Each structure stands twice: as C-alpha cells, then as structure tokens.
Structure 1
Amino acid sequence: MTRPTGRVLTLLELLQSGGTRTVAELADRLGVEGRTVRRYVAHLIDLDVPVESVRGRYGGYRLAPGYRLPPLMLSDDEALAVLLGLVAGRRSGLMTTGHTASETASAKIRRVLPQHVARRLDTLLESLAFTDQPGEFATPDAGVLLAIADAVRHRRPVSIRYTDRNARRSERTLHAYGIVAHSGRWYVTGTDPEIGEDRTFRLDRIADARTLPGSFEAPVDPDPAQRVVSGFATAEYRHQVTLRIHGTVEQIRAQLPPAVARLEEYDAPTADQDRATERWLRVEVRAERLDWLPPVLASLDRPFVIERPDELRALVMAHADRLASYARQA
C-alpha cells in the first residue's frame, strides 16, 4: 500500500499481532522514516486506538492490554483474496462446512465493506468464468478435521468411526501422519497400529474422531501427500489392468499420473540411455471401470500391449472402430 491511510491500517495490523514493535522495525515494514511512524501512531491515537509508548533500549509501540479491535478490517486486496478464496474453495470441494457457511461468510464481508469496494468486487465475481464445472463433494465435519489435525501435530493416537465405500462401519485406531487435500476431497493418512500397515481414509466418511492417551513416533519424512497418491495407485479395485507401453516416463505420466498407475521397467535402459529414452514400461492400473481407459490410451499415441484383462482389449477395439466410423463420415 502506498497511500497514508493504507500504511496506518498496516501499522494497526502489525501492532495487533502482539508484543512491542520498535520504531526501526515499523519503519522498515512500512517503508517510511521513523518520524512518519510517529505521525501514523498519532493518527491511531486520534481514532481512540490505545497505542502505548514503551521507553528503554527495546522500547517502541504496543497496543494496550485487553484492547479489542473491530471484528473486520480488510484492505481492497485482502477482501478480494478472501472472497476469491471462498469461491474457489466452494467450487473445488475443499470446504469443511458446505456451501451455506461460505455463502454467509461472503455476505458478511460484503456488508462491512465500503460501497465502492463491494461494488467493484461484485463486478469481478459476476464477470469471472471457470473452465471446469463446480464440484459436488461431500464435506468433512469441521470438528473431525480439527481433532485429527491436533492428533497429527501432537503425534497422539486417534480413534475414528469410519464408513467405507461399501457402507461397512468400523471403529479403529490410527497413528495419523498428515492431512491431504486431493482432487476436491480431504484425506488423512497414517498407520493402523493393530495391523502395522499404512492406511488412508476419506475425512467425510469419518463420523467421529477423538484423541487417545499416549504418543507415537512418526517415520522420518512420511510425506503424507505421496502416501495418499501411492495408495490410490495400489488400492483394491474391481479391475486390475496390466499394460506394456513404449515411451518415456514423462510421456506416460502425462496421461497416467502416480495416483492412477504404477510404472515398472520392462526393458531396462542400457548404460548409454536415460529416463528420456523411449522404451517398454510395464504399467499397472486398478480401476472400478474400464470405459475411461481406451480414450486415454488413444491420447497417449504410443505403442502398447494389453496383458490383462481381455475385456479392456475388446473395449479398445470397439473404441477404434467408432473413431474409424466417424472418420469415414462425409
């Protein structure tokens, strides 16, 4: 912010964060001289904001203890960031309380904004278009999300009541390593101490979560996001697909990312080759349906061999016949 009013508000935000701020620190953060900081402090005092002057070597300015600032003071840029964040979160499914909370939060922000700022923000949101359709995802319970986040931070076991995709209910203990947002859903990943295996659970399927006594040691650099992505590629699904595709790792990953497929060497590169060299790679995919694979294989435009299942081979041939028939149409 370059306007004096904007700098005064920034000064107020800095003081609100707590503690005593030296004149030199404030001047550096605001990009002004020390005497200008003192003038801004005087402006705040004129507005009945109780700014105290602290003398001594480590002196400066601070807010009086117990002072409560107005509930919302947003600059134009901050208001825009909050509103766009609410819109993006609602469309992507990464909201923890459904559409109603985000809509009421947006309405509250608009009510307290100056009219000219609210009008400009509304104009932007009305003009904004998205290339994808809004997601329709089940949202996790906020209490469950916060309870698991606390268990992750303090490395405490957590008991969860879970309903799987087949509507089977169970209660289990989890050593949670992290929370991951992926493709519009929230997941928690960790170890099930009873079976000693890594597990990943959808947060919207957890009905209750409570921390338990004790603690656990997490593995070094557990990388929760990588565990979730790898878990998708190895999970049990209706169909187990094995392919051999001739190409580079990068070419195949462009259409079959780690969350979808596992890659293994079929023809290992020789000493004078590298990962950018085209070669045969074995690709394993687990899927509930097969109808999406023929278009993906066609878009790869690489030689491939279907090892299993035969059903996929028939679907690919049918897809090729449809494309040929479309091409023959006048």
Structure 2
Amino acid sequence: MSRPTGRVLTLLELLQSGGTRTVAELADRLGVEGRTVRRYVDHLIDLDVPVESVRGRYGGYRLAAGYRLPPLMFSEDEALAVLLGLVAGRRAGLTTTHRAASETASAKIRRVLPQHLARRLDTLLDTLAFTDEPGDVDTPDAEILLTVADAVRHRRPVSIRYSDRDGRRSERTLHAYGIVAHAGRWYVTGEDPRAGEDRTFRLDRIADARALPGSFEAPSGPDPAQRVLSGFATAAYRHEVTVRIHGTVEQIRARLPAGIAHLEEQELPAGQDASAERWRRVELRVERLDWLPPVLASLDRPFVIERPDELRDLVAALADRLASCARLA
C-alpha cells in the first residue's frame, strides 16, 4: 500500500470516530499540510464517501449522518475486544431479539482477522469456561429497547403494552428512570403514575412502546440498579424465608447479595462496631427452596432457620448426605 493511500485510509478512520475534525488537527495526525488534507478529502468524495465540509471558527470535516460506513479498520486489540464482547453478550443473554446480528457481526470481523490472531482467538475460546450455562433467555426487541432508552434520556412518559409472568396483558404509562441489565435480562424501572408507585418491568415482556408528550422530574434517592435489586428482594414469591446468620455484612452478602436477600438493619448500642460479626436477620422470597441449603452451608457461619419448616428439613437432609459421604470416604 502506497503512503498516500495509507494516509487516505487513516483519514477515513479518523472521520469514522465521529464529530468534526479541523484541518489543522487532521494535518497534524497525518503528518501533512492542510492543502494535502483537502486533496485526501477529495479522494474520499470520489470514492462516494460523503464527507461534509463544516464552515466557521470550529469548522472542518465530518462524515454525513447515517452513512453506512465501509468496513471499519480495527487494530488487533480492538478486533479481539469486539469479538470477546459479542461472545460474552450472547452467553449472558444481553442481546436483542435480532440475535443473528451479533453472530453475523462476529463472522464478518473474524473473516478479516490475520491468521495468527484468528488462531489465538480460537485458542482462547477453546480454553474459556463460564460458571453459568447459557439458558433460553427471552431478549427484548431492539426497537422497544431504543424507544425506552430515549424516554429515559429525555424524561418523557412512555406508553407500554405489557404481559406479566401469568400472561395477563395491560397497557400503562411509565415514567422510566433507567434501564438495568441483571442476571441475563433487561429491566426498566420507573413510576407508574396511575398506581402512584414505582414498578419494574422486564423489557422482553413489553410488546410495544411509544413515547408520549410531556415530561417528568426524576426523583432523588436510589439509582435505577438499586431500585431493581430492592424490588427483587421484596417481590412476592411462593416461599418466604427468614434466617438468622452470625457474621459480618460482607460475609453474608458474599453468598446472599442484595438482589435476592434483604438484610435487616438494627439499632446498635453506642460504641458497638456495626461491621463486626453478630447475629443478623436475613429475609428472602423465593420460588424454590432446594438451592438454599448448599448456599447456607457455603457461608461457613452459624445460622438458625426461623421459617419455613420445609427449609429445615432440606438442610437436615443435606447434612445427612454429607455425613454419609464422609463415612464412606
């Protein structure tokens, strides 16, 4: 590749990064004079790349909005970062319903990787393990996701058609505070003005979303992620569990994070260290109990089950199995 051709491609890469670039800035980055920059711009225009000239004190050159760019020029590190991000996003379920888009994007980037980098990527993916197996996670529609995001950004009410976990459908207005990705799902949290209270909705259960006129003021207080986690900890489920655990907040939260458990805070006598080990009451609302005995055992802290009795039976059964295995060893 000749040096002028290489500089024209470098100019395109600079313009692709967004914004308006001054002639002086481009000349400095390319190591040429201003008139040479203008000649390179003419080369791009001859190739049907719509470069716009911006006049004024802060003028320069930029690409036309909405232009479908030719293949982006990534460095090896950038290409690897994009591919790993796509792989991790698919595994975590954090994609849209157009899942094929991430797969075709991965294939396009991988096809143009240098052979040695492609081999290194294959080696990494072959040796990479995930702690969670990928599940059949329902993902949101891309257009709905973008519509809700725009409503959050501009503090505009949004009308949604929603189906709850029992399949009941409703149409409601939402003052959306933020979008949260948690445990492989997308959520939107905000106020339902008709009910006068905060609500959290799964984005994949929203069938339609459209912005409404008007605006609203976002409240102070917890950020959207904390609102979603607090909602999980207090939602209605099949089983209500109360356990007293002797330990620090950090020890308990290591196995029972805020997204699934509410840790009761108590007033302490003056001078007592709030971070010290002591008995703390933990409350959970869960659909199934079978996963809790191993979690409680992994805490390696004394605990007392206050309710339900069924959980006591499951813990006792786990203890019997472990004791039996120990005797066999």
Structure 1 equivalent of residue 48 of structure 2? none
Alignment check: 8 A CA contact 1:157 1:173 kept = yes
Equivalences for residues 87-102 of structure 1 within 5 A = 87-102=87-102
Give the root-mean-square deviation of aligned CA atoms: 3.4
1:38 pairs, out of 33, 40, 55, with 33
Alignment check: 8 A CA contact 1:23 1:60 kept = no
State the aligned residue count. 319
Comparing 116-125 with 82-91, greater Cα deviation is found at 116-125
CA distance in 2, matches of 1:53, 1:215: 36
Structure 2 equivalent of residue 82 of structure 1? 82
Structure 1 equivalent of residue 144 of structure 2? 144
The 1:44/1:257 distance shift into structure 2, 3 A limit, reads farther
Structure 2 equivalent of residue 275 of structure 1? 274
The 1:4/1:189 distance shift into structure 2, 3 A limit, reads farther
Comparing 174-183 with 124-133, greater Cα deviation is found at 124-133
Matched position secondary structure for 1:225: helix
Alignment check: 8 A CA contact 1:94 1:184 kept = yes
Alignment check: 8 A CA contact 1:53 1:59 kept = no
TM-score of the superposition, structure 2-length normalised? 0.84
**1:107 Cα offset (Å):** 2.4
Structure 1 equivalent of residue 291 of structure 2? 292
The 1:44/1:63 distance shift into structure 2, 3 A limit, reads farther
Q: 1:156-175, CA deviations, whole angstroms, 9 ceiling, x for partnerless residues?
A: 11111111111222221111
Structure 2 equivalent of residue 322 of structure 1? 321
The 1:117/1:174 distance shift into structure 2, 3 A limit, reads farther
The 1:26/1:80 distance shift into structure 2, 3 A limit, reads farther
Q: Structure 1: any 5+ residue segments left out of the alignment? A: none
Equivalences for residues 21-60 of structure 1 within 5 A = 21-23=22-24, 27=28, 30=29, 36-38=31-33, 45=40, 48-50=43-45, 58=57
Q: 1:123-175, CA deviations, whole angstroms, 9 ceiling, x for partnerless residues?
A: 35654522332343111111111111111112111111111111222221111
The 1:124/1:252 distance shift into structure 2, 3 A limit, reads same
**1:66 Cα offset (Å):** 9.2
CA distance in 2, matches of 1:204, 1:166: 14
**1:307 Cα offset (Å):** 1.3
Matched position secondary structure for 2:33: helix
% identical aligned pairs: 66
**1:285 Cα offset (Å):** 0.6
Structure 2 equivalent of residue 304 of structure 1? 303
Alignment check: 8 A CA contact 2:240 2:285 kept = yes
The 1:205/1:106 distance shift into structure 2, 3 A limit, reads same
**1:82 Cα offset (Å):** 2.1
Q: Structure 2: any 5+ residue segments left out of the alignment? A: 46-50
The letter of the residue matching 2:287 is E
Structure 1 equivalent of residue 232 of structure 2? 232
Structure 2 equivalent of residue 201 of structure 1? 201
**1:109 Cα offset (Å):** 3.0
Comparing 217-226 with 184-193, greater Cα deviation is found at 217-226
**1:98 Cα offset (Å):** 4.6
Q: 1:151-206, CA deviations, whole angstroms, 9 ceiling, x for partnerless residues?
A: 11121111111111112222211111111101110000001111111100111111
The letter of the residue matching 1:241 is V
**1:269 Cα offset (Å):** 3.6
Alignment check: 8 A CA contact 1:244 1:282 kept = yes
The 1:26/1:95 distance shift into structure 2, 3 A limit, reads farther
Residue 186 of structure 1 pairs with residue 181 of structure 2 = no
Alignment check: 8 A CA contact 1:177 1:222 kept = no
Structure 2 equivalent of residue 19 of structure 1? 20
**1:69 Cα offset (Å):** 7.8
CA distance in 2, matches of 1:174, 1:43: 50
Residue 62 of structure 1 pairs with residue 81 of structure 2 = no
Matched position secondary structure for 1:49: helix
Equivalences for residues 150-161 of structure 1 within 5 A = 150-161=150-161
Alignment check: 8 A CA contact 2:158 2:173 kept = yes
The letter of the residue matching 1:274 is D
CA distance in 1, matches of 2:240, 2:63: 66
Comparing 61-70 with 153-162, greater Cα deviation is found at 61-70
Alignment check: 8 A CA contact 1:11 1:26 kept = no
